[in-house]
Amino acid sequence: MKTKIAQKKKPASTKKKTVEKKKPVKKPAEPSESKIQKNLRTISLLRGMKDITPKDELYWRTAYHKAEEMANAYGFEFMETPALEEAVLFTRSLGKDTDVVDKEMYVFEDRDGTRVALRPEWTAGAVRAYINHGMQSLPQPVKVWNYGAIFRHDRPQAGRFRQFHQFGCETIGQRHPCLDAELILVAYNFLKDLGIHANVNINSIGNLEDRQNYTIELVGYLRSKRSYLCENCKKRINKNPLRVLDCKEESCAEVIQESPQIIEWLGEESKTYFMKVLECLDELGIPYILKSTLVRGLDYYCDTVFEFFEDGNEEKSQNALGGGGRYDMLVEQLGGQPTPAAGFALGLERVISILRAKEDNKNLLEKPWSKVFFAQLGDQANYKALKLIEEMRLQGVIVRHNLAKASLKGQMETADKLGATHTLILGQKEVHDGTIIIRDMDSGNQEIVDQNKLIAEIKKTIKTAKPRK
Ligand code: AMP
């Protein structure tokens, strides 16, 4: 077969001579190795993005562990919605004239032509899932917690990234002052358990009617101060006046400070509701600061709104550790039955940056492995080592090792760098005798033990081991 096929092919020299002569196409020269290397630029992180590397591991694991523990303690169940959603989910929820939607959301058309967005917050996705999964037929309220990456094309600076992480809780299905207070309690205790003393800034923005009445007053005031406002806020007066109260520009600060206070425009129901939230917080012993200009930057909020700051670090808005509030209209706005709800989200990069700056992080998790290193010498010991390491793991002792390293000296150096208090040494002789050496890394003393007794022996050793000198 092979030869037949080969015979069918015309040899190059039998090609018709009448064929128009083409200019010989110059084959591009193969790039030399040095050229390839020159062209290979290293690829950097995108602006505003951050790697979480092993040196950050314990901070991130501690934060996750604490979030899970705290959410579960108050009856919240885990829920994760996709990072990618239809863009309209967020424009309809957060509001068109918000910074998040107008300036920060990552929006693009996917390959099917669907306009999609990377989630710029958790709440809208949680509400969509509540509706899609018919959760209104479950016992109410439905309490969910979420944890993961959020994307905003923000201006990168200290504490501000384009991909960051939030831990959040949502209580969907009921309206009660205790539920608002419970959300504040979960966030407050999460921070407290991590050793962060937080202050809670709180306000009420009432219901739609309250806000409409207040807005008339606010617009009149802002028009009278127009010349002092930044260019953005001048536009906001007509488009979205409440948003002026959120402005971070220094020029607007004084105008905001003296603006009419929304709390004075609340109707009886809103006022009573807010007073009850404050009473709950008093009862729980959670300190709070009433902040009349706090409105939060998104359209879906109503009534209670709050933000968390580290005590003594409240000057700038980018210091906020998190925030939240009630959003009683959102489920309906997204096509569900009228369903009250509330929630919060905490920014984990800011929480972790506080933990990193602390000298005493008592609550930080530890790496799961012991301070024991396993060194081996020779082929037989190499294979046996893997088996022994596995047996130890099954008995709850995790040891560090480098089975690819042949030299004992090299392995001892690694053990030293890793701060091992003890090294197990397995050579050909020990494999043969069914023994293993336990070496004390400080004193250099060595003990030979039976392999069958290794696990019991090493557990004893770990218990009494003192940290390396
Ligand atoms: P927000 O819903 O915008 O108030 O965000 C809640 C929390 O997420 C903030 O208080 C911050 O801790 C955090 N956060 C918001 N935007 C960013 C960002 N661009 N980079 C880092 N953390 C952020």
DSSP code of residue 135? G
* Fold designation for 54-206+285-357: BirA Bifunctional Protein; domain 2 (3.30.930)
Q: Is 273 helix (H, G, I), strand (E, B) or coil?
A: helix
pLDDT band at 315, cuts 50/70/90? low
**Does residue 194 carry a pLDDT above 50?**
yes
- Mean of the per-residue pLDDT values of the chain: 91
DSSP letters, 175-195, are: --HHHHHHHHHHHHHHHHHTT
Q: Is 386 helix (H, G, I), strand (E, B) or coil?
A: helix
Other Cβ atoms within 10 Å of 343 Cβ, number? 25
Would you list the domain boundaries of the chain? 54-206+285-357, 208-266, 372-464
DSSP code of residue 56? G
Task: Compute the chain's Rg from CA coordinates.
Answer: 32
pLDDT tens digit sequence for 261-288: 999 999 999 999 999 999 999 999 999 9
* Fold designation for 372-464: Rossmann fold (3.40.50)
Full-model pTM: 0.88
Q: Tell me, what's the pLDDT at 33? A: 55
| Residue identifier of the C-alpha nearest atom 9 of ligand 1 | 322
pLDDT tens digit sequence for 9-59: 444 443 444 444 555 555 555 555 555 566 789 999 999 999 999 999 999
Residue type, 297: G
Tell me, in angstroms, the distance from the centre of ligand 1 to residue 320's CA: 7
Q: Tell me, what's the pLDDT at 10? A: 42
Pocket flag, ligand 1, residue 399 (CB < 6 Å): no
Residue 252: left (phi > 0), alpha (psi -120 to 50), or beta?
alpha
| Residue identifier of the C-alpha nearest atom 18 of ligand 1 | 160
Calculate mean pLDDT across residues 170-195: 98
Q: Tell me, what's the pLDDT at 426? A: 97
Pocket flag, ligand 1, residue 154 (CB < 6 Å): yes
Pocket flag, ligand 1, residue 152 (CB < 6 Å): yes
Pocket flag, ligand 1, residue 295 (CB < 6 Å): no
Calculate mean pLDDT across residues 329-334: 97
DSSP code of residue 130? H
Pocket flag, ligand 1, residue 401 (CB < 6 Å): no
**Does residue 140 carry a pLDDT above 80?**
yes
**Does residue 387 carry a pLDDT above 60?**
yes
Tell me, in angstroms, the distance from the centre of ligand 1 to residue 154's CA: 10
Q: Tell me, what's the pLDDT at 165? A: 98
Nearest by Cα to 137 from 337, 334, 327, 330: 337
**Does residue 366 carry a pLDDT above 60?**
yes
Residue whose token pair is 């700038």: 316
| Residue identifier of the C-alpha nearest atom 13 of ligand 1 | 347
Nearest by Cα to 325 from 170, 102, 149: 170
| Pocket-testing residue among 190, 349, 353, 355, ligand 1, by greatest number of atoms within 8 A of Cβ | 349
Report d(CA 299, CA 98) in Å as an integer: 8
Share of the chain above pLDDT 90, in %: 80
Q: Tell me, what's the pLDDT at 30? A: 58
Q: Tell me, what's the pLDDT at 79? A: 98
Q: Tell me, what's the pLDDT at 32? A: 56
How far, in whole angstroms, is CA 185 from its chain's centroid?
Answer: 20
Tell me, in angstroms, the distance from the centre of ligand 1 to residue 240's CA: 21
CA geometry: angle 162, 124, 243, nearest 5 deg = 70
Pocket flag, ligand 1, residue 160 (CB < 6 Å): yes
What is the SS3 string spanning 348-378?
A: HHHHHHHHHHCCCCCCCCCCCCCCEEEEECC
Both tokens of 379, joined, read: 């082929």
Report d(CA 74, CA 69) in Å as an integer: 9
Pocket flag, ligand 1, residue 345 (CB < 6 Å): yes
Q: Tell me, what's the pLDDT at 39? A: 75
Pocket flag, ligand 1, residue 120 (CB < 6 Å): no
Q: Is 290 helix (H, G, I), strand (E, B) or coil?
A: strand
Pocket flag, ligand 1, residue 246 (CB < 6 Å): no
How far, in whole angstroms, is CA 59 from its chain's centroid?
Answer: 12
Q: Tell me, what's the pLDDT at 7? A: 41
Distances (CA, A) of 468 to 418, 439, 461: 10, 13, 14
Calculate mean pLDDT across residues 361-371: 90
Tell me, in angstroms, the distance from the centre of ligand 1 to residue 322's CA: 6
pLDDT band at 437, cuts 50/70/90? very high
